[in-house]
Structure 1
Amino acid sequence: MDFDNIAKEQSDRIFQVWIQNLLRNSPEDLAGKLASRHCPGTPVTALRLSNGAFNICYRVTYEDGRRVEVRFAALGRVIARNEKVEDEVAIMSYIGRHTAIPVPKVLGYGKCVVGPYIVMSFIEGKSLSAYLRDSAQETVALSSTISTSTLRRAYFSMSEILLELSKPEFPCIGAIRQDESGSWTVLKRPLTFNMNRLTQFSNIPHSIFRQPPFGTAADYFEELAQQHFHHLELQRNDAISDEADCRKKYIARCLFRKISHEISKRHCSGPFRLYCDDFHPDNVLVDASTLVVTGVVDWEFAYAAPVEFTYAAPWWLLLERPEDWEPDLDQFLTRFMPRFRTFLEVLEDCETRKIKDGSLLQHQRLSIAMKDSLGSGLFWICLASRHSSMFDEIYWNIIDPRFFGQFTTIQDRLCLLTTEERLNIDTFIEKKVHQASERNLVSHYSIDELVEL
């Protein structure tokens, strides 16, 4: 389902206004002042780094040669900026203390004239994806001429991070925070990549998302299914093409909500594992000569998640983000499977080495579950759960026939809905058709409220 073009335009306008505000406040000077507030010394230069999706970053160099990074959470790119920064600070602190993954050290964070910011240590290195991508294409895509040795080295580095990330265990699903006693625990629901996209590009009010953490995977998968329903119900523009399209999307969401409790059976009560929605070779920094990882950045959408997310095959093996895949998923699999087989070989090798040196236990292997995830459909279910923009394609092509058999007519699927869902469908369709004809947005927040979120 497409996002709302009017909401996208509004997001871009807000971002541009925020950028102008940042520029008016001499960002190089501001970055230097914030850096020195949390890392004593004399800053001499501040250089803007290449744009990320959610932050504007500056590298601050001190008189003695030390370097730190100042990250400003971008208004218009992130709705709940304060929550995003607090989550990122907490998860980086946890990962830095409890895993072997190299992450920036948080030196301080707070609010300034342009909103929330983080000051952290600067990690030298170049994005791993820069060594893997096809430079001739505008979109990020894996080079078709990449050498097997380079690809295997890159996959090995990614495997090491995935294995390390999967070790910590938590009793609930949600964002990791330190409580008053200093213990690390799950205190609230996660802020996810998809939630941010829904608020940014579909104009879904952030307040609609549930706040407490989730005690079971079934509860969380049901919440994700409900988020897809929020997407269809509350996105006013570009959500449907006609009444038939709306009916099909409504039915898909009702049926996915129906099966959400069936997704996680063996691991429904946990323990739950760390997962990062945005983990990707873009965010892995490596040494130019060896491709050895020097650091992993961009942890804003990392949280304790259903173990099924960890066990599903990685979506980033071709570098492309799911929204950029071809609509024909069979064509995608034709390109994906050879790389997936290579990755599994590398992951198994990485696991064997770590078991031999004592840094991994036999039951902590991921390769066996990942290998099964495409055949069992887990890969697609987890992907559909986390990406509202891809939900309909994945649901009708893969999930629906797996759970409800060969598709014949939409009327047959309508019969599977509850009585209440069937009674509501015509009113729902009428409302969506009327929304589509109006072509407007409902304003959920004033600019002042957005700034404070």
Structure 2
Amino acid sequence: MDFDNLAQQQSDRIFRVWIQNLLRNSPEDLAGKLASRHCPGTPVTASRLSNGAFNICYRVTFENGDRVVVRFAALGRVIARNEKVEDEVAIMDYVAQHTAIPVPKVLGYGKCVVGPYIVMSFIEGNQLSGYLRDSSQETVTLSSNISMSVLRKAYFGMAEVLLELSKPEFTFIGAIRQDESGGWTVSKCPLSFNMNRLAQFSNIPHSIFERRHFSNAADYFEELAQQHFYHLEHQRNDAVTDEADCRKKYIARCLFRKLSREVSGEHCSGPFRLYCDDLCPDNVLVDASRLVVTGVVDWEFAYAAPVEFTYAAPWWLLLERPEDWELDLDQFLVRFMPRFRTFLEVLQDCEERKIKGGSLSQSQRLSIAMEKSLETGLFWICLASRHSSMFDEIYWNFIDPKFFGPFTVLEDRLRLLSTEECADIDIFIEKKIHQASEGNLVSHYSIDELVDL
């Protein structure tokens, strides 16, 4: 389902206004002042780093040669900026303390004239994706001419990160915080990549999302299924093309919600594992000579999640984000499966080395579960749960036929809905067609409220 073009335009306008405000406040000087607030010494230079999706970053160099990064959370790119920064600071501290993954050290954070910011240590390295991508393509995609040696080195580094990330265990699903006693707790609902996308590009009010943490995976998968309903119900533009399209999307969401509580069987009550929605080669830094990982950055949207997320095959093996995949997902699999087989071989090799070295147990292997995830449909269920923009394509291609049999006519699926869902469908369709005819955007927040979120 496409995002709302008016919401995207609004997001871009807000971002441009915020950038203008940042530039008016001399960002190099501002970055230097914030860096000196949290680090000893005198800053001498500040330079803009390449843009991420959610932040504007500056590298600040001190007289003694030390370098730090000042990251400003971008208004218009992130809806709940304060929550996002607090979540990211906490998760970076946790990962630094409890895993062998190299992450930036948080030196300080707070609020300034342009909103929340983080000051963190600078890590040397180049984006891993830069060694893998096809530079002739506008969309980030894996080069078809990449050498197997380079690919295996890259996949090995990613495998190490995934294995480390999967080791910590939690009793709840949600965002991680350190309490006053120094212990780590899961205190609230995670702020996910998809929640931010829905608020940014579909104009879904952030306040509609569940705020509590979850004690079992069934409740969380049901909440993710509910977010697809929010997407269809509250996105006013570009959501449906006609009544038939709306009916099909409504039925898909009802049936997926029915399935959602059955996704997690053996691991429904945990333990739960760390998962980062946005982890991919873009966010992994490596040295130029051996492609060894020097750091992992951009930890927003990382949280304690159902173990099924960890056990599903990685989505980033071709570098492309799911919304950039071709609509014919069978054709996508033609390209994906050879790379997946290579990744499994590399992951198994990585596991063997770590087991032999004593840093991994047999029970902590991921390769066996990942290999099964496409066969069982877990890969597609987890992907559909986390990506509203891809939900309909994934659901009708891979989920519906697996769980409800061959598709013939939509009326057969309609009979599987509850009495209440059947009673509501015509009213729902009428509302959506009316919204589409109006072609407007409802404002949920004033600019001042957005700034404070």
**TM-score of the superposed pair, with normalisation by structure 1:** 1.00
Gaps of 5+ in 1: none
Equivalent residue number for residue 266 of structure 1: 266
- SS at 2:261 equivalent: helix
Amino acid at match of 1:286: V
Amino acid at match of 1:433: I
Equivalent residue number for residue 287 of structure 2: 287
Equivalent residue number for residue 179 of structure 2: 179
CA shift at 1:90, angstroms?
Answer: 0.1
Per-residue CA deviation, residues 22-52 of structure 1 (Å, 9 max, x unaligned), is: 0000000000000000001100000000110
**Pair 1:72-2:69 in alignment:** no
Equivalent residue number for residue 377 of structure 2: 377
CA shift at 1:180, angstroms?
Answer: 2.0
- SS at 1:262 equivalent: coil
Amino acid at match of 1:150: V
Rounded to whole Å, the distance in 1 between the matches of 2:181 and 2:417 is 47
Equivalent residue number for residue 399 of structure 1: 399
CA shift at 1:408, angstroms?
Answer: 1.1
Amino acid at match of 1:276: C
Rounded to whole Å, the distance in 2 between the matches of 1:54 and 1:64 is 30
Equivalent residue number for residue 233 of structure 1: 233
Equivalent residue number for residue 276 of structure 1: 276
Larger mean Cα displacement after TM superposition, 78-87 or 395-404: 395-404
Rounded to whole Å, the distance in 2 between the matches of 1:371 and 1:413 is 30
RMSD of the TM alignment (CA)?
A: 0.4
Rounded to whole Å, the distance in 1 between the matches of 2:236 and 2:251 is 18
**Pair 1:191-2:191 in alignment:** yes
Amino acid at match of 1:369: A
Equivalent residue number for residue 16 of structure 1: 16
Rounded to whole Å, the distance in 1 between the matches of 2:368 and 2:421 is 39
Rounded to whole Å, the distance in 1 between the matches of 2:182 and 2:294 is 28
Equivalent residue number for residue 119 of structure 1: 119
**Pair 1:325-2:341 in alignment:** no
Equivalent residue number for residue 7 of structure 1: 7
Per-residue CA deviation, residues 185-230 of structure 1 (Å, 9 max, x unaligned), is: 1000100000000000000000000111001000000000000000
Equivalent residue number for residue 163 of structure 1: 163
Residues 99-110 of structure 1: matches in 2 within 5 Å? 99-110=99-110
Rounded to whole Å, the distance in 1 between the matches of 2:168 and 2:17 is 41
**Pair 1:244-2:238 in alignment:** no
Could you tell me the percent identity over the aligned residues? 83
Superposition misfits of 4+ residues, deviation over 2 angstroms: none
Rounded to whole Å, the distance in 1 between the matches of 2:275 and 2:61 is 32
Amino acid at match of 1:177: R
Larger mean Cα displacement after TM superposition, 27-36 or 176-185: 176-185
Equivalent residue number for residue 368 of structure 1: 368
Gaps of 5+ in 2: none
- SS at 1:158 equivalent: helix
Rounded to whole Å, the distance in 1 between the matches of 2:39 and 2:292 is 28
Equivalent residue number for residue 430 of structure 1: 430
Rounded to whole Å, the distance in 1 between the matches of 2:408 and 2:145 is 43
- SS at 2:139 equivalent: coil
Rounded to whole Å, the distance in 2 between the matches of 1:139 and 1:40 is 41
Per-residue CA deviation, residues 326-373 of structure 1 (Å, 9 max, x unaligned), is: 111110000000000000000000000000000000000000000000
- SS at 1:2 equivalent: coil
CA shift at 1:181, angstroms?
Answer: 1.6
Amino acid at match of 1:142: L
Rounded to whole Å, the distance in 1 between the matches of 2:371 and 2:402 is 18
Equivalent residue number for residue 297 of structure 2: 297
Rounded to whole Å, the distance in 1 between the matches of 2:180 and 2:259 is 38
**Pair 1:307-2:288 in alignment:** no
- SS at 1:263 equivalent: coil
Rounded to whole Å, the distance in 2 between the matches of 1:237 and 1:348 is 46
Rounded to whole Å, the distance in 1 between the matches of 2:390 and 2:344 is 25
Equivalent residue number for residue 26 of structure 2: 26
Rounded to whole Å, the distance in 1 between the matches of 2:451 and 2:177 is 23
- SS at 2:118 equivalent: strand
CA shift at 1:397, angstroms?
Answer: 0.8
**Pair 1:346-2:328 in alignment:** no
Rounded to whole Å, the distance in 1 between the matches of 2:347 and 2:168 is 19
Equivalent residue number for residue 44 of structure 1: 44
Rounded to whole Å, the distance in 2 between the matches of 1:37 and 1:27 is 15
- SS at 1:146 equivalent: coil
Rounded to whole Å, the distance in 1 between the matches of 2:400 and 2:131 is 38
CA shift at 1:296, angstroms?
Answer: 0.3
CA shift at 1:411, angstroms?
Answer: 0.7
**TM-score of the superposed pair, with normalisation by structure 2:** 1.00
Aligned residue-pair number:
453
CA shift at 1:284, angstroms?
Answer: 0.3
Equivalent residue number for residue 208 of structure 1: 208
- SS at 1:59 equivalent: strand
Per-residue CA deviation, residues 93-119 of structure 1 (Å, 9 max, x unaligned), is: 000011000000000000000000000
CA shift at 1:311, angstroms?
Answer: 0.2
**Pair 1:451-2:447 in alignment:** no
Rounded to whole Å, the distance in 2 between the matches of 1:250 and 1:149 is 46
- SS at 1:120 equivalent: strand
Amino acid at match of 1:112: C
Rounded to whole Å, the distance in 1 between the matches of 2:408 and 2:137 is 40
**Pair 1:418-2:418 in alignment:** yes
Amino acid at match of 2:434: H
Rounded to whole Å, the distance in 1 between the matches of 2:328 and 2:448 is 43
Amino acid at match of 1:53: A
Equivalent residue number for residue 442 of structure 2: 442
